[in-house]
Structure 1
Amino acid sequence: MENVRYLYGASGHCKVIIEILKSTNHKVGGILDDDPKDNFLMDIPVIEFSKTEILSSDNIIISIGNNEIRKKIASNINADFAIAIHSKSIISESAKIDKGSVVMAGVVINAFATIGKHSIINSGSIIEHDCEIADYCHISPNVSLAGNVTIGEGTHVGIGACIIQGIKIGKWTTIGAGSVIIDDVPDFAVVVGNPGKIIKYNHKNE
């Protein structure tokens, strides 16, 4: 059925996506997991992935919060993937959201912003005009991105962080909770504070 979705990963993040889908009158037909700990999550059956067949190439969402794991799973599944957008988010008609991404309640995505594949735009975040968010990113709750901000692949922007207009954030970086970013950030950097300062570098996962 067109309004049925299947989630991959019985996690806390999965619980949020279930409620997002309910807000748009979608049904969750089941939750796929490589190592199920329970038979049900929120009354939805949890099914061992190896024992099931994907019913459609475009009805699956990866419900795992870790960016690297999401990328690994997406690379190993031949699927087109679905999108989940909460009914209480505000999305510009000119914004573009790619397959596998999730937009939570209270989010604002403004004119001509683009969201890549399998990214998470978490509760209450503001993505201003012409921002570009690449694949496998996580924009945490209450993050504010001013206009023309670019976020590279796999980057995690921590809860409550603010990034001023025109800033470029590299790939697989970590922006600490509450940080204020006023300068460009290179690939793999870990940045914290107000103003944000690089404290170390993440391992290169490529």
Structure 2
Amino acid sequence: MSEAKEVFLFGYSGHAYVIIESLKDLGYEIVGYFDKHKSDDNPYNLEFFGFEKEVDVKQIVGDRLVFPAVGDNSIRKNLVHFFNSLNLNQFVLKDPSANISKTASIGVSTYVGKAVLINAQSKIGDGVIVNTGCIVEHECELANFVHVAPGTVLCGNVKIGNESFIGANSVIRENKSVVGGALIGAGTVVTKNVMENGIWFGNPVRKK
């Protein structure tokens, strides 16, 4: 497993900064980051190890931990598949302020942010972001590579498909489903099943 909870990040911009502060609060040592280009801004003084497609990531990382620190669902999906292909050590990152039921299950390379509540029997896939202040009620199911933006409320038994994006401060009513790849705009109230791809918004929800 990892040595002294050492972790390499993939991506180093706005979302990565949130990840870094959760890691630090949990006592992880951040060795450095991989990204397409070296960042002009380096507020956390991290070492740049190159672009993952152009360097020997397995040789550099070894048995230490890796984490995808990007908000874009598609890029995060590709990174997790890349980690799997190299058998790199992934983990679940749960901010210490999050309140997570012992009966909830959470996949690898998923981030549970500050002040998040995840209730009983919820199932969260790989590479998911549950961002600041979200409420995920009982028996919700979030498939792989979903991004739930800050302040969102998922009422009981909500199902979210692969690679969907749920905008900030949205509310999804109990027993409703959102198809994979859908984009739910900020502040939307989902009162019916969203079964077509595309952009949805409003109260009640409608397709753009």
TM-score (norm: length of structure 2): 0.90
Taking every aligned residue pair, what percent have the same amino acid on both sides? 30
Give structure 2 stretches of 5+ with no counterpart.
none
Q: TM-score, normalised by structure 1?
A: 0.91
1:149-168 map, 5 Å: 149-168=158-177
Structure 2 counterpart of 1:25? 27
Amino acid across the alignment from 1:20? S
Secondary structure of the equivalent of 2:145?
A: coil
Distance 1:166 1:105, change over 3 A: same
> Aligned ranges for residues 118-157 of structure 1 at < 5 Å?
118-157=127-166
Structure 2 residue 57 is matched with structure 1 residue 53 = yes
SS at match of 1:61: strand
Looking at structure 1, the residues matched to 101 and 82 of structure 2 have their Cα atoms a distance apart, in angstroms, of: 32
Residue 111 in 1 paired to residue 120 in 2? yes
Amino acid at match of 2:81: S
Q: Note the alpha carbon deviations across 1:48-104, whole angstroms, 9 max, x for none.
A: 133453324661111111101111222233234222110001000000110000011
Match of 2:200, SS state, is strand
1:10, distance to aligned residue in structure 2 (A) = 1.2
State whether residues 39 and 47 of structure 1, in contact with CA within 8 Å, keep that contact through their aligned partners in structure 2.
no
User: In the alignment, which of 50, 67, 71 is matched to residue 65 of structure 1?
Assistant: 71
Residues 146 and 165, structure 1, Cα contact 8 Å, conserved in 2: yes
- CA 1:52–1:38: 2 relative to 1, 3 Å: farther
Q: Which residue, out of 72, 75, 81, partners 1:75?
A: 81
Do 1:150 and 1:166's aligned partners in 2 also have CA atoms closer than 8 Å? yes
For residues 38 and 152 of structure 1, the distance between their equivalents in structure 2, rounded to whole angstroms, comes to: 36
Instruction: Say which SS state the counterpart of residue 18 (structure 2) adopts.
Output: helix
Task: Report the CA distance between 1:198 and its aligned residue.
Answer: 1.1
- The count of aligned residue pairs is 199
SS in 2 for 1:48: coil
Name the structure 2 match of 1:192.
Answer: 201
* Equivalent position of 1:90 in the other structure: 99
* RMSD of aligned alpha carbons: 1.6
Does the 8 A contact of 1:190 with 1:198 survive in 2? yes
Once the two structures are TM-superposed, the CA of residue 186 in structure 1 deviates from its matched residue by 1.2
Alpha-carbon contact 1:10-1:46 (below 8 Å) kept: no
**For the residues of structure 2 that align with 1:39 and 1:185, how far apart are their CA atoms?**
39
Using the TM superposition, give the Cα deviation of residue 2 of structure 1 relative to its aligned residue in structure 2, in angstroms: 4.1
Select 1:12's aligned residue among 5, 11, 14.
14
Instruction: Assess if the C-alpha contact under 8 Å between 2:5 and 2:64 holds in 1.
Output: no
Q: 1:45 to 1:157 in 2, by over 3 A?
A: same
Going by fraction, where is strand more abundant, 1 or 2? Answer: 1
CA distance in 2, matches of 1:72, 1:105: 25
Deviation at 1:162, TM superposition (A): 0.2
- With 60-69 and 36-45 compared, the bigger mean Cα shift is at 36-45
